[in-house]
């Protein structure tokens, strides 16, 4: 089973690496956007699927990373990626430290509401003040580079490769993290936090560390989004985006890193499918309806998410073969009688 999971992940990343050779400009741009949201989904998976903390304010860290990219970019030239990227990730991580230090003292629905409240505070800061440009947003004046023109993120293919490298690094980092002692502690907190405390673990520092790491990765996704689009607006911090990324990891399957990848791709492709006027004509204007019904169907029919589809199919096939064997035994026994 582990070998099949590794093969699936390896095949997915190889396909992503080869995708620009097979797709046109639109296909490359679409997959680049999906990979950015896959990093965003992985950041939330660390909290929800691995630690059991349902955060409804993840968009705040994503938006802070995006706004930091624009605000820290000088007006007179392209900034260096070597300092801009860490600065944006650090800005998101620092806000996550503030939010986590206060919100992690609550539990359950109260934790959800507190994280939502902090996200809305960040939203209104950029929406109602000149700092964030208000509802008009802000344009990115120049995209970052590395050592002159060694890596120019203004070029679509260079940015695609850089985004893929970031996604690979985040996935690899989380894989190692969850297999470490720290990751095992998070798994124990998710299953039974009270028992973890009884065994001598102080769970608060572990949860806070996971919250900060998650916020930093969401900031990385925000940085990539701002560089890709060259524009940021308050919608990047709205609760709608927090809900969308939560749907992604539920759709893919909670508790699995590959589920976050699958969920991000499935959600984005479903959006593109229902928005297609070539397929749905005038109904494409009401694409939210089709998308919502599809997600409801997936949740109802696939309780383990898309990542659990192969297991469900194998279980049903084994069940059918078992019933066939039982029926054949009954027939033989009747014949013998």
Q: What is the DSSP string of 303-322?
A: TT-GGGHHHHHHHHHHHHHH
- Write out the residue range of the structural domain in which residue 208 sits: 21-314
Q: Is residue 8 part of a domain?
A: no
Q: Which residue do the tokens 């064997």 mark?
A: 325
Q: CA-CA distances (angstroms) from residue 214 to 90, 100, 119, 245, 246?
A: 12, 11, 15, 13, 13
Q: How many domains are there within the chain?
A: 1
Residue 320 has a pLDDT of 64
Q: Does residue 326 sit within a domain?
A: no
Chain-centre distance for alpha carbon 261: 7
In this structure, is residue 332 part of a structural domain?
Answer: no
| Residue 6 resides in a domain | no
Q: Which two tokens stand for residue 83?
A: 């300092």
Place of tokens 């300092």: 83
Q: What angle do CA 195, 196, 201 make, to 5 degrees?
A: 145
Instruction: Tell me the CATH number at 292.
Output: 1.10.3470
Q: Are 217 and 42 contacting, i.e. CB atoms less than 8 angstroms apart?
A: yes
Q: Does a structural domain hold residue 156?
A: yes
Q: In which band, very low, low, confident or very high, does the pLDDT at 99 lie, cut at 50, 70 and 90?
A: very high
* Domain assignment present for 12: no
d(CA 265, CA 76) in angstroms, rounded, equals 37
CA-CA distance, 286 to 229, in Å (whole number)?
Answer: 25
Share of the chain above pLDDT 90, in %: 52
Would you say 58 and 214 are in contact if contact means Cβ atoms under 8 Å apart?
yes
322 against 35, higher pLDDT:
35
**Is 10 among the domain residues?**
no
**Which position has the token pair 């930093």?**
216
- What does the pLDDT average to over 190-218? 92
pLDDT given at position 135:
82
What lies within 8 Å, CB to CB, of 57 at 6+ separation is 99, 115, 116, 117, 118, 119, 120, 239, 242
Among 69-78, 295-304, 307-316, the least confident range: 307-316
CB 306 within 8 A of CB 266: yes
Read off the pTM.
0.90
**256 assigned to some structural domain:** yes
- φ/ψ (deg, to 5) at 219: -65, -35
């Amino acid at each position: 089973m582990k070998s099949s999971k590794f093969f699936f992940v390896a095949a997915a990343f190889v396909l992503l690496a080869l995708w620009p050779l097979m797709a046109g400009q639109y296909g490359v741009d679409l997959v680049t956007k999906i990979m950015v949201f896959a990093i965003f989904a992985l950041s939330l998976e660390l909290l929800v699927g691995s630690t059991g903390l349902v955060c409804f304010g993840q968009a705040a860290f994503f938006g802070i990373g995006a706004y930091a990219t624009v605000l820290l970019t000088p007006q007179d030239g392209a900034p260096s990626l070597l300092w801009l990227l860490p600065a944006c990730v650090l800005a998101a991580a620092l806000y996550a430290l503030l939010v986590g230090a206060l919100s992690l003292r609550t539990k359950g629905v109260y934790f959800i509401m507190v994280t939502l409240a902090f996200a809305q505070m960040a939203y209104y800061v950029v929406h109602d003040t000149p700092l964030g440009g208000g509802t008009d947003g802000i344009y990115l004046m120049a995209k970052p580079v590395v050592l002159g023109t060694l890596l120019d993120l203004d070029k679509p293919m260079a940015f695609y490769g850089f985004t893929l490298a970031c996604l690979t690094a985040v996935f690899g980092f989380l894989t190692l993290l969850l297999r470490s002692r720290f990751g095992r502690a998070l798994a124990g907190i998710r299953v039974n936090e009270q028992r973890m405390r009884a065994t001598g673990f102080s769970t608060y520092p572990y949860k806070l560390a996971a919250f900060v790491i998650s916020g930093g990765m969401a900031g990385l996704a925000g940085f990539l989004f701002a560089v890709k689009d060259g524009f940021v607006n308050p919608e990047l911090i709205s609760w709608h985006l927090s809900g969308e990324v939560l749907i992604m990891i539920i759709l893919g399957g909670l508790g699995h890193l590959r589920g976050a990848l699958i969920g991000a791709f499935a959600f984005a492709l479903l959006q593109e499918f229902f928005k297609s006027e070539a397929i749905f004509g005038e109904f494409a204007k009401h694409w939210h309806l089709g998308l919502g019904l599809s997600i409801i169907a997936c949740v109802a029919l696939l309780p383990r998410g898309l990542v659990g589809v192969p297991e469900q199919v194998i279980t049903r096939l084994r069940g059918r073969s078992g019933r066939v064997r039982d029926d054949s035994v009954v027939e033989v026994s009747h014949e013998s009688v």
